[in-house]
Structure 1
């Protein structure tokens, strides 16, 4: 067990014995100790998932586990990350659950460990964290790659001759490279190569301009677009729609818009990630760390114990089952596109 985990656990045990543990924080020789879970999520722009799904899921899971919880966003800006962390730490943290932005969380890990507070990297790898709780992003990329290859084959297009664009996501997100590697390796093994490739952009308008420029450079030829997530895919689809073009577009996160695009035939797949499961897994790790126990892990990623959370591919073939399972609101997804939903059994 790391020194940070040991200090935090011993301090908490002493406080429990004396009845002094509170939700705001208590000063000890090891630093501020609390039963509060302090959480920092990255932003609200690069993907809608953080506010739509992660925040409510983490808040619910932490409270169900008996924690007070404070969830803050570092609005997509690494320079603001430290200020957000300082505010949380000043009010007391028993454990920190951090989603990194371009390495901004690394010094926060050091500060937390100095105070005897264990750190769980949430959703993205984070150097120095005690544990990582995340989806298998390389496998998510492989699922996306397979869906592109299968869509091309279904349309009678030879993968090696197809016009496939690669559109990445937020470069500050460490999982972006993992997803890309899984997707590109899978497509390459089937003969697909990038017809055009560019990284994600800071805004939807910038991304739309970049994609439009790429299309213009290739006379509008497009068969498929590997888009890293549903937010990126939505921008790609809007550009294709404006030009009267269609293509096999991937996505990730099973957002409301992503599912709507899939049902309308504008997106071939998205990836369902059950954020409640990820949040619950992080809460379970937090509980064990606070009480000095060694959490179970599925393996390691770059030397950090890794708790892997499952994900699944959603396509037109199984979207009805996914929505009917209650994972998301079918009525919200189908509002205004009832005919398309009915055609898929919704």
Structure 2
């Protein structure tokens, strides 16, 4: 990853918060059973976000293998049964550590099985009941940044938050992070006087979000002043309906996806929360290596249930900061700057 002012500003506390203690051997020094040097990873799907295959897989694989460890990284492709099958296969072959991204609660049963076999479990990006550690971005802060983008967008439009018509479009409640995103956003928006005019069921699906938002918009007589949306994929669905109705209002999002960044540059999305995936992956890799080497890491934060929590700080990116995401290597300008976005890239110095 190239250096940039944005990435250097993103807190590396998640990495530095890891404290190692009680080293009990070197699983990665070439000795012992081969299973003890294998990191088993299960990714959730390829539909909710392109990040899992495009970013997380190579970052995790490269980091672990560079340290001399074997990896077994598989994707459940949005299927809880496949998730369980992958886990059983991995456990039968042996794992020194399991790094799991939860999908619809499937991670909890896997964590229980791994724990019964004495295998440490890292919940990656999404919390999992029974995991030994949790590595993610500061998810409440993600929500707060999204909420602030809505508050700022309403102010820029001259709208009173107390009377504004705001629709809330959250993520799938089966994802433990979705509640944190929601709670962080609500904390900021309600403090500004915003109350939701409509709040359809949460999903992680752009097409379903479009359908849900269209129904909400119809129920509101076609009137809306802003839409809090939990991620860029869902925001893209919402924006298709806004475009269809000739509306441009503040819309939030997260992930700094290509589509999200394009919508930000075009003024269709107020901002996106940038979560440099490599920082999260690096924190998880550092933790996994410590566990594979027999160390007992601790963290300076914890979840409500006491799980040690290594949190990485996100950043809010509006149109003037998209260039920093590109300079950091997290967005390809050739992919980003296409069609009507090309002129905007030139305007904001993106090459």
Give me the TM-score of the superposition, normalised by structure 2.
0.88
Q: 1:217 aligns with which of 216, 219, 223?
A: 219
Distance 1:288 1:207 in 2: 40
Distance 2:197 2:291 in 1: 48
Aligned positions, number: 326
Q: Is the 8 A contact 1:298 1:308 kept in 2?
A: no
* CA deviation after TM superposition for structure 1 residue 155, in Å: 1.0
Q: Is the 8 A contact 1:44 1:75 kept in 2?
A: yes
- Pairs within 5 Å for 1:247-266: 247-266=249-268
- Per-residue displacement from partner, 1:3-59 (whole Å, max 9, x unpaired)? xxxxxx86x759968x4433xx3xxxxxxxx31111011112222222232222222
RMSD: 1.9
Q: Is the 8 A contact 2:60 2:282 kept in 1?
A: yes
- Per-residue displacement from partner, 1:151-180 (whole Å, max 9, x unpaired)? 110111111111111001122211000000
Q: 1:339 aligns with which of 314, 339, 343?
A: 343
Distance 1:245 1:16 in 2: 60
In the alignment, which residue of structure 1 is the partner of 2:327?
324
Distance 1:148 1:342 in 2: 26
Q: Is the 8 A contact 1:159 1:190 kept in 2?
A: yes
- Per-residue displacement from partner, 1:58-104 (whole Å, max 9, x unpaired)? 22222223221111112223233211101112222111001112322
Distance 1:267 1:57 in 2: 28
* CA deviation after TM superposition for structure 1 residue 345, in Å: 2.2
Name which structure has the greater RCO, CA cutoff 8 Å, separation 6+. Answer: 2
Could you say what secondary structure the match of 1:257 adopts? Answer: helix
- Larger strand proportion of the pair: 1
Distance 1:110 1:98 in 2: 12
Structure 1 unaligned spans of 5+:
1-8, 26-33
The runs of 4+ residues in structure 1 deviating greater than 4 Å are 12-17
Judged with a 3 Å threshold, the aligned counterparts in structure 2 of structure 1 residues 50 and 13 are, in CA distance, closer, same or farther, namely closer
Q: 2:33 aligns with which of 21, 35, 39?
A: 21
Is 1:315 equivalent to 2:315 in the alignment?
no
* CA deviation after TM superposition for structure 1 residue 320, in Å: 2.2
In the alignment, which residue of structure 1 is the partner of 2:4?
none
Q: Is the 8 A contact 2:147 2:184 kept in 1?
A: yes
Structure 2 unaligned spans of 5+:
1-22
- Per-residue displacement from partner, 1:186-244 (whole Å, max 9, x unpaired)? 10000011011112347433332221111111121111111100110010111111221
In the alignment, which residue of structure 1 is the partner of 2:19?
none
Distance 1:261 1:294 in 2: 44
Q: Is the 8 A contact 2:96 2:292 kept in 1?
A: yes
Q: Is the 8 A contact 1:65 1:284 kept in 2?
A: no
Is 1:136 equivalent to 2:138 in the alignment?
yes
Q: Is the 8 A contact 1:61 1:276 kept in 2?
A: no
Give me the TM-score of the superposition, normalised by structure 1.
0.89
Q: Is the 8 A contact 1:100 1:121 kept in 2?
A: yes
Distance 1:262 1:153 in 2: 17
- Per-residue displacement from partner, 1:266-324 (whole Å, max 9, x unpaired)? 10111111111111111111111122222241211120111111211111132223323
In the alignment, which residue of structure 1 is the partner of 2:80?
78
